Structures are given as structure tokens and as C-alpha cells.
Amino acid sequence: FFVQTHSLQDLQQPAVSSKVFIQRDYSSGTICKFQTKFPSELESRLDKQQFEETIQTLNNLYAEAEKLGGKSYLEGCLACLTAYTIFLCMETHYEKVLKKIARYIKDQNEKIYAPRGLLLTDPIERGLRVVEITIFEDRSIGSGR
């Protein structure tokens, strides 16, 4: 065998066994919020509580991004006065929170999901439609849990 394939078989690039999609929860309107219902496919891999905590934190972060409050109004009014040209130069509050979310997801992946053979995909990559969780086959020889 080729060395590469041998090593591949060894390290075995993990095969994706399935993907779970956490859909949006529209019960509070159009704000970005995901369902916290624990999908059955993850039962063998993850704690329900852990999962709910991740999703809940994500929901809170998105709520923070979309919050209507003094600061966002100020940003909006200022933008209006400048004919919205400041959007070209300034990073909006929403974008700042999105970065925060990306960091959080990366962090969660490293600490919790990757060791269990799972991978969270940032919802922004999916147009904020779903939280995609990729489940990898657990056939690695000496890894993971």
C-alpha cells in the first residue's frame, strides 16, 4: 500500500456519518433564535444540558446583536444623519457580536464538541437558518473519548 493510504487508514480522516440541523424558533417573531430541543441523534454523544447551554448562549448572543435599545438607536440615528455612509466605514454593533459568536463557537468546538466527534457550524455560514452539527463516525482508533 501507499504510505499515504496506510497512514490515512490509520488516522482515518473521520467520516461524516450524518448531520443534524437545529432549526430556527420563530415563536418570538423574526429575531434570530434557535430551537433548544435536543435532537435524538446526539443522544449517544452529548449531554442534553450541554447542548441546551450552547444553544441558549447562542440565542442570547443573537438577542444582544439585535437588541433595540439606546445604543442601537443612537447608531441608527447617527447613520441616518450621515445618509448611512458611516456603514461604509464603521463596523456595526451586529457585526461585532457576530465575531463574538464565531469565537464562542470555535471555543465550544475545541472544548466540547470536537472531543466527542461533533462539529458545530456557525449559523452565519448557513444564512442564519440552521445550526448545523456534523456527526463524525467514531471509528478512530485511539482518539476522542
- Amino acid at site 27: S
The answer to whether residue 24 forms part of the interface with another protein (CB under 8 A) is: yes
All cell numbers assigned to 12: 482515518
Q: d(Cα 115, Cα 95) in Å, to the nearest integer?
A: 29
Place of cell 433564535: 33
Task: Tell me: does residue 80 bind another protein (CB under 8 A).
Answer: yes
Q: Examine residue 107 and tell whether it contacts another protein (CB under 8 A).
A: no
Q: How far is the CB of 58 from another protein (least distance, A)?
A: 13
14 binds another protein (CB under 8 A): yes
Q: Tell me, what amino acid is at 144? A: G
Taking the complex as a whole, the smallest distance from the CB of residue 71 to another protein amounts, in Å, to 9
Only one of the segments 26-34, 44-52, 53-61 lies at the binding site for another protein (rule: CB under 8 A); that segment is 26-34
What is the DSSP secondary structure assignment for residue 123, as one 8-state letter? G
Q: Which residue stretches of 28-130 are H helix?
A: 48-65, 70-81, 86-89, 93-108
As to burial, measured by CB atoms within 10 angstroms (0-12 exposed, 13-18 middle, 19+ buried), residue 107 is exposed
Chain residues binding another protein by CB under 8 A are 1-2, 4-5, 7-9, 11, 13-19, 21, 24, 26-30, 65-68, 72-73, 75-77, 79-80, 83-85, 87, 92-95, 98-99, 102, 105-106, 109-110, 113-115, 117, 119-122, 124-130, 132, 134, 136-137, 140, 143-144
